Structure 1
Amino acid sequence: MDFNDTKQEAEFRQQARQWLEENITEFKEEYTFESNLSWAEPEAGELAKAWQKRKFEGGWGCLTWPKALGGREVSLMEATIFAQEEAKVTPLAGIYGVTMGMAVPTIMTHGTEEQCKKFLPTIANGERLWCQLFSEPAAGSDLAGIKTKAVKDGDDWIINGQKVWTTFAHFSDWAILVVRTDPTVAKHKGLTYFVVDMKSPGVEVRPIKQASGESEFNEVFLTDVRIPDSQRLDAVGKGWNVAMTTLMNERVAVGGAFSYNVEEILDVARNTPLGEGRAIDDSGVRQSIADWYVKSAGLKNIRLRQLSTLSKGGVPGPEASVSKLVLGVGRQDLAAMSLDILDMAGVLAEDDAMGWGNYDFFRTIGNRLEGGTDEILRNIISERVLGLPAEIRVDKGIPFNEVPSGL
């Protein structure tokens, strides 16, 4: 396979690079902020919105979207090229990961024309950020086990329940939401999907203090929150099907959100003394880096396969689970190895993006949970890729309100 840019792609990359270099300089002059600003800070959310607005006004904000919705309808490969170049100059696009990578494809796939016209323009122009209200204290890996309920009241729905591990909920404007509307049917069939204004009465957000020192994740409590039926995506009871669209795109987004290469850990190994030489001179260190290099090459090819599928109009498949599983485990292993190499210097290192100090060690734990836990991903791979027998599910076909909960 030839992984080099075509002539057209090379020209597009040069145009993207030129625009980014010019505009990031102007942006940093207009918005003064610390280079190590935490993504968990509300200020980061405002900066991400401002950057998205600048991209949109410059014609680079929603490259693959239909022109009628403010996009340019370029190829997925060209959009990937822009994302590659953008990542070299700023990490701000990552804050829009849930918004662009999960909310947008779900709304485009399952929303009505009216809903698309209402919600997508405010995403495109940087006006609104979105979060994802899925996981609950007793329903994380088993998403279909959620208990947050919605009861119909005229033309509205009344929502009560609790969500947890919601990234950026503390500064998000809107959210995608899965709730239970019918507890008398099997758990996968009683779910319905909504979008909700995070400023609605009854929505309470409580940041969670993480081991990394940040509060990127949140608990969200929903108490008698009133949502109009016009904010429902797809039919009542079809929430699981809609959620699958979100989750498949989430695994692609999470799997592509972090670097596959080994340059960061190589820099650490080349510049850190170990024994009588450098860490890179140690055979054990070189072997570990070589192992990750092999894995990263495989991840790159899986990513290219995903892009090929999407560029032909397909939907994300189970290969996204392979990518996300390997990446989550690998990043945690790399962070642990970096701490071993840096010794006390790594433990005491200040928060530094991709610095592979103590922050990275604690934050990579989340990589193995977000977008699907290791266990769920292994089940998907075994059943849908390898064709192995499905895991035994004792609650299959049983009405949700009859499933023993242990509570």
Structure 2
Amino acid sequence: MDFGFGAEEEQFRRRARDWLAERLTGGGPYAHAAGLGGPGSEHEGGGARREWERELGRAGWIGLGWQAPEGAYGQRRASLTQQVVWAEEYARLRAPARVGHIGENLLAPTLLAYGSQEQRSRFLPPVARGEELWCQGYSEPDAGSDLAGIRTAARRTAAGTYRVTGQKIWTSLAREADWCFVLARTEPGSRRHHGLSFLLVPMDQPGRIEVRPIRQMSGTSEFNEVFLDGAVAEEVVGGEGNGWTVAMGLLALERGVSTLVQQIGFAAELERVVGAFLASPTSADPVLRERLVRQWAELRTMRWNALRTLGGGPEDPGAPSVAKLLWGGWHRRLGELAVAVRGAAATAGPRDWTPQDPYPLDEAQRLFLFTRADTIYGGSDEIQRNIIAERVLGLPKEPR
């Protein structure tokens, strides 16, 4: 694939860079929010980042990759190459981590592929304006990577709505979200991937929806438990009983240009780890030096693999699983390197810390602790290898 940047892309880059710089640098109105948020730091600047989402919406920067005519839902349209350019400039100027990415990158493409026109007209414009935030209700305590084992039940009422009861877990941004798309069992007695439906559930239902943050090793609470007790849902996407098809379609959409955005963030983290290495007494260690070079080479490989999969051609059923295996393991190893290059100093807190205070973590320590989860959430390594073995290589299925 020839993934070059021509004159049109460079002109688009200048527009994007100028718009971002005007707001995020110097005396820009969002300069205080630059660099806030992201994995392990979702507790940072919630209000500022939500207002930033609206600022992106006002300028039409949300929904660049939607497969819909420009302006159909208030968004501008960008080519694949321009989407990559936007992602690169967004990361380089340290724009705040998005709080609307689940609505933009997961819900919206799913509605465009499986939803009705009424659903698209209702839900896509508020996402494009940065006004409504979404979370994903998939995993459950006994059905994490094994999504077909979910038990959350939804029963149709006489009024044609659904009452949803069950528990979801590891739900990112559940406290901030206005809506949640929930995979629930609408056919009593159904098993595995049969009898599931993809429901749209409003989160503001006191007494029917409770969100409890999950405290992690890093001391932060990116993830949440969500308890549904007769929560009302009026919308089902793709028809009742077709939830498995919609859910699998959504998971396939989860890997895309957003993968490149993630890798640009990884590159910035790697640069900081290399800087810490060069300033540390460990900089003479040839083993650490070799590990850092390997991290750099693997990141470049992931980038070219992502560009290859975005370039069209025959559908590769194993591509999403390969991508997850690559970045999950890479990021966890980077967290290990972040503390290794600092030596014994990485195990200590600030000199003025006392046991009466909350234990403060620096950036490297937080990266190390948070990335322990990278090979688990979003589909564990074990499940990804099973998918590749069974669906790509045709090996016998693992006994249930």
The normalised TM-score by structure 1 is: 0.86
Matched, 1:332 2:332: yes
Whether the 8 Å CA contact 2:23–2:31 is kept in 1: the answer is: no
Q: Secondary structure at the match of 1:188?
A: coil
Query: What is the distance in 2 between the residues matched to 1:191 and 1:238?
Result: 6
Q: Secondary structure at the match of 1:189?
A: coil
Q: Deviations over 1:57-102 (max 9, x none)?
A: 2232322333211122221221121111011223424332322221
Q: Deviations over 1:1-37 (max 9, x none)?
A: 6554112111111111111111224885368559656
Query: What is the distance in 2 between the residues matched to 1:39 and 1:286?
Result: 28
Which residue among 134, 141, 154 is the counterpart of 1:150? 154
Q: Secondary structure at the match of 1:10?
A: helix
Name the structure 1 match of 2:299: 296
Matched, 1:200 2:205: yes
Query: What is the distance in 2 between the residues matched to 1:291 and 1:33?
Result: 33
Q: Residues 223-262 of structure 1 correspond to what in structure 2 (within 5 A)? A: 223-228=229-234, 231-252=235-256, 255-256=259-260, 257-258=262-263, 259-261=265-267, 262=270
Query: What is the distance in 2 between the residues matched to 1:39 and 1:4?
Result: 34
More displaced 10-residue stretch of structure 1: 45-54 or 203-212: 45-54
Matched, 1:81 2:82: no
Aligned length: 379
Q: CA deviation at 1:109?
A: 1.3
Query: What is the distance in 1 between the residues matched to 2:316 and 2:221?
Result: 30
Query: What is the distance in 2 between the residues matched to 1:393 and 1:91?
Result: 46
Name the structure 1 match of 2:49: 48
Question: As a proportion of its length, which structure holds more helix?
Answer: 1
Distance 1:4 1:75, change over 3 A: closer
Which residue among 305, 309, 314 is the counterpart of 2:308? 305
Name the structure 2 match of 1:400: none
Name the structure 2 match of 1:59: 60
Structure 1: runs of 5 or more not aligned? 395-407
Which residue among 375, 380, 389 is the counterpart of 1:368? 375
Q: Residues 320-399 of structure 1 correspond to what in structure 2 (within 5 A)? A: 320-348=320-348, 351=361, 355=363, 357-385=364-392, 387-394=393-400
Q: CA deviation at 1:324?
A: 1.7
Matched, 1:127 2:152: no
Name the structure 2 match of 1:265: 273
Distance 1:325 1:19, change over 3 A: same
Q: Secondary structure at the match of 1:371?
A: coil
Matched, 1:171 2:187: no
The residue identity in structure 2 corresponding to 1:308 is G
Whether the 8 Å CA contact 2:201–2:231 is kept in 1: the answer is: no
The residue identity in structure 2 corresponding to 1:88 is R
Q: CA deviation at 1:260?
A: 4.6
Q: CA deviation at 1:351?
A: 4.7
Structure 2: runs of 5 or more not aligned? 350-359
Whether the 8 Å CA contact 1:260–1:299 is kept in 2: the answer is: no
Q: CA deviation at 1:264?
A: 3.0
Q: CA deviation at 1:322?
A: 1.2
Distance 1:21 1:141, change over 3 A: same
The residue identity in structure 2 corresponding to 1:250 is E
Query: What is the distance in 2 between the residues matched to 1:299 and 1:33?
Result: 29
Q: Deviations over 1:266-291 (max 9, x none)?
A: 212211112xxxx2x32111211222
Query: What is the distance in 1 between the residues matched to 2:222 and 2:27?
Result: 24
Name the structure 2 match of 1:219: 225
Query: What is the distance in 2 between the residues matched to 1:22 and 1:318?
Result: 41
Q: CA deviation at 1:391?
A: 1.8
Query: What is the distance in 1 between the residues matched to 2:315 and 2:83?
Result: 17
Give the % identical residues.
34
Q: CA deviation at 1:239?
A: 0.4
Query: What is the distance in 2 between the residues matched to 1:189 and 1:27?
Result: 55
More displaced 10-residue stretch of structure 1: 124-133 or 364-373: 364-373
Whether the 8 Å CA contact 1:252–1:324 is kept in 2: the answer is: no
Q: CA deviation at 1:315?
A: 7.2
Provide the alpha-carbon RMSD of the alignment. Answer: 2.4
Q: Secondary structure at the match of 1:117?
A: helix
Q: CA deviation at 1:250?
A: 2.5
